[in-house]
Amino acid sequence: MENIHQLYGVFAAAVTPLNPDLTPDLEGLKQLLHFLANRGCHGALIMGTTGEGPSISIVERLSIYKTAAEAVKLIPNFQLLAGTGTPSLEDSVNLTRAVFDLGYSGVVVLPPYYFRKISDNGLFAWFSQFIKKSVPTNGAVLGYHIPPVTGIGFSIELLSRLKDSFPDQFLGIKDSSGDQAWARTLGLHFGNDLLVLNGNDSLFSLALKSQASGCITALANLMSPLHRAVWDNFQAGFPDEINQNKLSKVRELFDRYPPMPPLIKQVLSRVYGFPMWSIMPPLLDSNSDLVNNILTEYIAALE
């Protein structure tokens, strides 16, 4: 498959900087995107799970999308993806139209996750309407497969049907299932015909071996030089077990203390000098003593 959208490599699922009053820190977002670009990221996902997208209002999401688009004008070749999926078809359509108007490279779209016992036919009908109403002919759509959170996933049959029906728009999937067998199945079934960006750091090398095009992960906010090393070495034909092991250790550490956005914001502040950005309820700030212990393990895992 010729990847005309150039959606490959290391993407950070960017946190959303929030002020103490829970309004977006737009200057902080610009600084974060430059930080990520300077540490090897090919791009960033704005308003994904790590970005607390479902917790943030439509109006504020639009201002965040716009600020990110302005920021990357000064970052050559940096790709922006936007999380635009909501349970509402109309809200998803309006958000998606807006980000394509802003010049985003693509959207990562959750299935409509409120009604969980939905057939593939129902999901196909929703995505068909979504694509027809909001995605330009050169727009890229990735389904967001994260069933542990949404309770709804993409089957092989649904992916095939969407890909066949919208071959120039529905390009693939962000796979945040954390399922090794599923990562292998995607590669075996689709090969290069489906663009896969893996969402679990522990499975990054496995996903690349299974013909994934890269990753979109929360930990790339912190560790993108290691992700980039794994990516670059894989492209050169040299599997990077050392850096993959470091990624796996830190992922295991962070998975022990969910949810991830508060902890990532803490580490960005304490280790990398960013402000201590707030968290949107219902998420809460991480316990300070716990963070101290996690930081000790985090630093040790990088040595």
- Domain for residue 265, yes or no? no
Round to whole Å and give the CA distance between 291 and 176: 24
Residues 6+ apart with CB under 8 A from 10: 40, 41, 42, 43, 214, 215, 220, 224, 227, 228, 231
The percentage of residues in the chain with a pLDDT greater than 90, rounded to a whole number, is 92
- Pairing, β 214-217 against β 170-175: unpaired
The average confidence (pLDDT) of the chain is 95
Over the stretch 222-254, which tens digit does the pLDDT of each residue have? Answer: 999 999 999 999 999 999 999 999 999 999 999
Of 144, 163, 246, 265, which residue is the catalytic one?
144
Is residue 2's pLDDT more than 50? no
Over the stretch 119-134, which tens digit does the pLDDT of each residue have? Answer: 999 999 999 999 999 9
- pLDDT for position 5: 54
Over the stretch 67-100, which tens digit does the pLDDT of each residue have? Answer: 999 999 999 999 999 999 999 999 999 999 999 9
Q: Identify the residue with better confidence: 1 or 43.
A: 43
Neighbours of 44 (CB within 10 A): 30
Over the stretch 158-171, which tens digit does the pLDDT of each residue have? Answer: 999 999 999 999 99
Give catalytic status of residue 49 as yes or no.
Answer: yes
Give catalytic status of residue 174 as yes or no.
Answer: yes
Round to whole Å and give the CA distance between 208 and 188: 12
- Domain for residue 159, yes or no? yes
Show the domain range for 155: 9-237
DSSP string, the chain: ---TT---EEEEE----B-TTS-B-HHHHHHHHHHHHHTT-SEEEESSTTTTGGGS-HHHHHHHHHHHHHHGGGSTT-EEEEE---S-HHHHHHHHHHHHHTT-SEEEE----SS-S--HHHHHHHHHHHHHHH--TT-EEEEEE-HHHHS----HHHHHHHHHHSTTTEEEEEE-S--HHHHHHHHHHHGGGSEEEE--GGGHHHHHHTT--EEEETTHHHHHHHHHHHHHHHHTT---HHHHHHHHHHHHHHHTS--HHHHHHHHHHHHH--------TTS-PPPHHHHHHHHHHHHHHH-
Q: What is the CATH number of the domain that holds 82?
A: 3.20.20.70
The whole-model pTM stands at 0.95
Of 50, 65, 67, 174, which residue is the catalytic one?
174
Q: Which two tokens stand for residue 148?
A: 């542990």
- Domain for residue 281, yes or no? no
Of 16, 49, 50, 217, which residue is the catalytic one?
49
- Domain for residue 243, yes or no? no
Of 23, 114, 132, 296, which residue is the catalytic one?
114
- pLDDT for position 271: 94
- Domain for residue 26, yes or no? yes
- pLDDT for position 117: 87
The percentage of residues in the chain with a pLDDT greater than 70, rounded to a whole number, is 98
Give catalytic status of residue 114 as yes or no.
Answer: yes
**Measured torsion, CA atoms of residues 148, 155, 111, 44, in degrees rounded to the nearest 10:** 80
pLDDT category of residue 4 using cuts at 50, 70 and 90: very low
Is residue 3's pLDDT more than 50? no
Q: Indicate the number of domains in the chain.
A: 1
- Domain for residue 149, yes or no? yes
- Domain for residue 99, yes or no? yes
- Domain for residue 289, yes or no? no
Over the stretch 21-39, which tens digit does the pLDDT of each residue have? Answer: 999 999 999 999 999 999 9
* CA-to-CA separations, 117 to 147, 182, 220, 260, in angstroms, rounded: 12, 21, 33, 27
Q: Burial level of 55, CB count in 10 A (0-12/13-18/19+)?
A: middle
Over the stretch 137-159, which tens digit does the pLDDT of each residue have? Answer: 989 999 999 999 899 999 999 99
Round to whole Å and give the CA distance between 62 and 12: 19
